[in-house]
């Protein structure tokens, strides 16, 4: 793989989403240069800004068509544009490139992916370190069994239990019973 040249990010006045799409095209072009792969085999993926929650980015692969697309967290892009453009976009592009070259044989953050990230001149860290807020807060409901400690079920499992699904304690094997007034917020 070719040695990476330093890529400068100048945010300027450009819309961040447009800039992220342009950065995606830039990193795909760099990957073509590094790997020697044609534009036909390595097209620029579509970029969507619909990712929410704690994830900064996500590469999506369609199994049959082998089409790829990238999802970016728009809230994180707005709050941390420098990090998102310099780290997350090349991270997700590397996933797309490795998938297009090796298919599902390559591990998501495996040897090939790390080598491409190094060739890009970007730290091959599997996770971002940006501060995030959870998308939703789940309520927890207190349940009891024969054990000394209570069990806590999220609102999803609590609703299932109310509709007839039985949950049992992993320690004693006894069916869990709802404790009245046992509600807590879970982040």
Residue 184 scores a pLDDT above 90: no
What's the pLDDT score for residue 2? 40
- For residues 63 and 164, the model is more confident at 164
**pLDDT single digits (tens) 46-72:** 999 999 888 999 999 987 777 899 999
pLDDT band at 4 (very low <50, low <70, confident <90, very high): very low
* Domains of the chain by residue range: 16-120, 138-186
pTM of the model: 0.69
**pLDDT single digits (tens) 74-124:** 999 999 999 999 999 999 999 999 999 998 899 999 999 999 999 999 999
What's the pLDDT score for residue 136? 62
**pLDDT single digits (tens) 9-58:** 666 667 999 999 999 999 999 999 999 999 999 999 999 999 988 899 99
Pairing state between β 57-61 and 68-73? antiparallel
Q: Give me the active site residues, please.
A: 92
């Amino acid at each position: 793989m070719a040695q990476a040249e330093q890529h400068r990010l100048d945010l300027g006045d450009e819309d961040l989403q447009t800039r992220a799409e342009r950065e995606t095209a830039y990193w795909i072009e760099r990957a073509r240069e590094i790997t020697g792969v044609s534009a036909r085999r390595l097209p620029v993926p579509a970029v969507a800004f619909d990712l929410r929650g704690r994830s900064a980015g996500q590469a999506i692969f369609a199994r049959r068509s082998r089409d790829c697309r990238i999802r970016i967290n728009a809230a994180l892009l707005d709050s941390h544009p420098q990090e998102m453009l310099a780290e997350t976009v090349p991270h997700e592009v590397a996933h797309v490139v490795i998938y297009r070259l090796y298919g599902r044989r390559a591990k998501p953050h495996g040897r090939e992916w790390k080598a491409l990230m190094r060739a890009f001149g970007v730290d091959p860290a599997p996770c971002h370190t940006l501060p995030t807020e959870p998308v939703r807060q789940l309520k927890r409901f207190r349940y009891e069994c024969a054990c000394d400690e209570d069990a806590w079920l999220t609102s999803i499992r609590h609703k299932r239990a109310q509709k007839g699904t039985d949950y049992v304690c992993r320690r004693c094997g006894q069916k869990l019973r709802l404790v009245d007034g046992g509600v807590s917020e879970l982040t």
